[in-house]
Chains A and B, each alone.
Chain A
Amino acid sequence: MVLIAMGFEGSANKLGVGIVRDDGQVLANPRVTFVTPPGEGFQPSETARHHQQHVLDVLADALAEAKLSPKEIDVVCYTKGPGMGAPLVSVALVARTVAQLWRKPILGVNHCIGHIEMGRLITGAVNPTVLYVSGGNTQVIAYSQRRYRIFGETLDIAVGNCLDRFARCIRLSNDPSPGYNIEQLAKQASGDKFVKLPYTVKGMDVSFSGLLSFLEERAPSLIDSGEFSQADLCYSLQETIFAMLTEMTERAMAHCGSQEVLLVGGVACNLRLQQMVGQMADERGAKLYATDHRFCIDNGAMIAQAGIEMFRCGLTTPMSDTGCTQRYRTDEVEILWRD
């Protein structure tokens, strides 16, 4: 029997509704992004308003793209957390309502696990060490005994948050995303000019807030001096933070004896990061797996995919438990669908 899941995602500034079939086909995955003006980040209440304005249209788009009617959906999945409160609730409300209207079971999904399961599906990686890097999360994860265990993580801010805030500092456009624009600008640097930034790996973990403060304080004067361009600073930042991530990932791979590494999350779109981690993997005789922007960046299909795995194990969420939670650790979920 074919199973079809619908997934709703809105934990940060991306709003997506995806439809996935249990044979691995992604039937629809429309998404809209709340883009703020240069120099500004996105606040919870305005982000929630954005999601409220767009979610019903994106839902209609998903059904149209998949050429399905609601009765053909078997389970409605939504992001329970982690993420921003009001945006999460805005999306959960729609999921709860359609689940009742269409008389379907509902499933609350962990956002991080959505990334992992979509990464595994799209790339075919069997049992990879996962580097999950986004605006809200930075973790190195490996599967062990029914849990996605966090082997290393940021001690303060996510690497994507570091990138986003530096983009604000130099007033880069946030369209399509600040990280994308930093990546393009970094490519323009000659590579001859490098600003030495605080490289902070602590045991199995990393830290970015000291590096960010350091750079925010110095960027205006470095640029005004004429010695460094914005491109040089973007280049220096990427080289440093990606090297830190590569080191943290390599440590976990060595610990686990892993032959596969999977990159997921919005920052995983970055080709320089893929190149650096890929080089490290090559040197270890391991293989790098990565997807493109459709699945790296937050999307609804990844929630549907994790939901399908959960649903096939017999899980559903009672309506009274369909709340949202801003903190939701990756290792809190029992991964019943793996040995």
Chain B
Amino acid sequence: SIMNSTGDSDQVHQAVLRIPFKDARHAEIACTSLSVDPEPPRSFVTKTIRADGSLVVVTFTSGQVRKLRVAINSFFDFATLVIGTIDRFDLVPDQ
């Protein structure tokens, strides 16, 4: 759909990331961790995040492509950290 927005064009730009996890439990954990923080004020980006089985699906929407890139870059730093935490500190089965 086309919305009125301030910025480069009348088009709404959207990017979707699908991040695979080992299983649904890991995907839920990552999704929960990454959904708490709001996007910064004046970022001009809306982000939605949900777990879909063992996938985490993140959708970024903005009227400005530039802003989309900033939001996605920032998200990748945070997502990498969460993925690294899960990889390194998940409980081994007997714990």
Contact (Cβ within 8 A) B81 A101:
no
Count chain A residues whose beta carbon lies closer than 8 angstroms to a beta carbon of B. Answer: 28
Would you call B23 an interface residue if the criterion is a C-beta within 8 Å of the partner chain's C-beta atoms?
Answer: no
Cβ < 8 Å to B, chain A residues 82-110: 85-86, 89-90, 92-94, 96-98, 100-102
Would you call A324 an interface residue if the criterion is a C-beta within 8 Å of the partner chain's C-beta atoms?
Answer: yes
Interface of B is mostly: helix
A48 CA to B77 CA, complexed, in Å: 9
For the complex formed, measure the closest distance between the CB of A107 and the CB atoms of chain B, giving whole angstroms: 14
A52 CA to B30 CA, complexed, in Å: 16
Would you call B43 an interface residue if the criterion is a C-beta within 8 Å of the partner chain's C-beta atoms?
Answer: no
For the complex formed, measure the closest distance between the CB of A80 and the CB atoms of chain B, giving whole angstroms: 11
A102 CA to B90 CA, complexed, in Å: 7
Q: Which residue of chain B has its CB nearest to the CB of A89? A: B37
Contact (Cβ within 8 A) A89 B78:
yes
A69 CA to B38 CA, complexed, in Å: 32
Q: Count A-B pairs with CB separation below 8 Å.
A: 67
A97-B29 in contact given A52-B81, A69-B95, A89-B37 (Cβ < 8 Å): yes
Residues of B contacting A96 with CB < 8 Å?
Answer: 32-33, 36
For the complex formed, measure the closest distance between the CB of A259 and the CB atoms of chain B, giving whole angstroms: 43
Interface of A is mostly: helix
Residues of B contacting A322 with CB < 8 Å?
Answer: 36
For the complex formed, measure the closest distance between the CB of A323 and the CB atoms of chain B, giving whole angstroms: 5
For the complex formed, measure the closest distance between the CB of A281 and the CB atoms of chain B, giving whole angstroms: 43
**Interface flags, B61-92, vs A, CB<8A=1, else 0:** 00000000000001001101110111011110
Q: Which residue of chain A has its CB nearest to the CB of B30? A: A97
A114 CA to B78 CA, complexed, in Å: 25
Cβ < 8 Å to B, chain A residues 314-339: 319-320, 322-324
A97-B36 in contact given A48-B77, A69-B95, A70-B91 (Cβ < 8 Å): no
Contact (Cβ within 8 A) A70 B84:
no
**Interface flags, A51-69, vs B, CB<8A=1, else 0:** 0100110011000000001
Contact (Cβ within 8 A) B82 A93:
yes
A98-B85 in contact given A71-B95, A93-B33, A319-B36 (Cβ < 8 Å): yes
